[in-house]
Amino acid sequence: MPPVNGVFDRTGTVQHPSYRLLLKEVWSLISYRPTAPNPQALPSGGGHVVLIIPAFLTSDAVTKSLRKFLERCGYRALGWDLGINWGPTDRLLTELRRRLRELRDLEGGPITVIGVSLGGLLARDLACDQPENIREVITLASPFRLPTASTIEPLFHLCARFYSARIEPRRISRSLCVPALAIYTRGDGIVAWQSCRSDDDRCEAVEVSGAHVTICQNPDVLRLLATHMAKARRVKRAGAARGS
C-alpha cells in the first residue's frame, strides 16, 4: 500500500503522544469555549482568498469558526466543499486541485492554503503540484515531517486501502518552493508534535499552547494567522512595487 509506506515510524525514534494527552483532547472537545480575538484590533486581509482544508474524518463544519473569524478580518475564507476528509483518495485529490484552480481564478492570482492536521499534508501536496497557484501554505498541527507517530494510527489504516498512489509521503516532507508556516503544539494528543514542524529555511515554525482538536478555535492561533497573512501580503506588495 504505497501511500502508507514511510508515514509511521517503526523504529521507536518518534513516539506517539501519551494516552493522558489523548484524554485531554477528549476533554477539550467538551469544555473548550474560548473567546476569539477582536478582528478590529488586527490588520485587514484586504479580500485575499484563503482555502481551508479540514482534518482527517472531519468536514468544513469543523473549520467554520476559523473561516468566520478570517472573514471578519477581511479575508475571503472558503472551505474545500468536498465533504468529509477521508484522506488522499483519487477523487479527493482530483477535486481538490479543481477547487484550488477555481479559487485562484476568484483571487486573480495565488491564494493562501491552510490545512488542518491531515489537511496540511494535502495542502503541501497541492503546493508540490501547483506552486504557481499558491502564495503560502499554512499547516495547523499537521504531521508533514514524516515518519510520524499517532494515537489514531489504526483509523488511518482502515481508510488507507482506498488511498491513491499519486500521493508521495517523501515529497510532502521535503522543502516546498513556496513559503510555509507550521503551527504546532506540544500538548498535541493526536500526532507527535515533533513531526508538525520543520527547520528548513522556507518554513517558519511557531509553537502555541493547547490541544490538537481545538486548534481552529485557539485564540493564539487565530491572532497569529491574521497577523502573519497580513505581513505576507505587505511583503508581496512591497516586492511588486520594487519590481515595477
pLDDT, mean over the chain: 93
Any domain includes 244: no
Nearest 5°: the CA angle 176, 157, 162 is: 75
Residue 50 clears pLDDT 60, i.e. is over it: yes
Total number of domains in the chain: 1
pLDDT of residue 146: 92
What was the pLDDT predicted at 1? 44
**The C-alpha cell that represents 56 in the structure block:** 482527517
Domain span holding position 211: 2-237
Q: Confirm whether 225 is domain-assigned.
A: yes
**For residue 5, what pLDDT band results from cuts at 50, 70 and 90?**
confident
pTM, rounded to two decimals: 0.94
Q: Is residue 243 part of a domain?
A: no
Q: For residue 231, what pLDDT is reported?
A: 87
Q: What percent of the chain has pLDDT over 90?
A: 86
- On the question of pLDDT at 96 being above 70, the answer is yes
In a domain, 230, yes or no: yes
User: Does the structure show a pLDDT above 90 at 244?
Assistant: no
Residue 103 lies in a domain: yes
Q: Residue 86: pLDDT above 90?
A: yes
Residue 196 falls inside a structural domain: yes
The CATH number that applies at residue 118 is 3.40.50.1820
- Is the residue at 198 inside a domain? yes
pLDDT of 6 reads 80
Question: Running DSSP on this structure, what letter comes out for residue 176?
Answer: P
Q: What is the mean pLDDT of residues 186-208?
A: 95
In contact, 144 and 121? CB cutoff 8 Å: yes
Answer yes or no: is 242 within a domain.
no
In DSSP notation, 31-80 reads H--PPPP-GGGS---TT-EEEEEPPTT--TTTTHHHHHHHHHTT-EEEE-
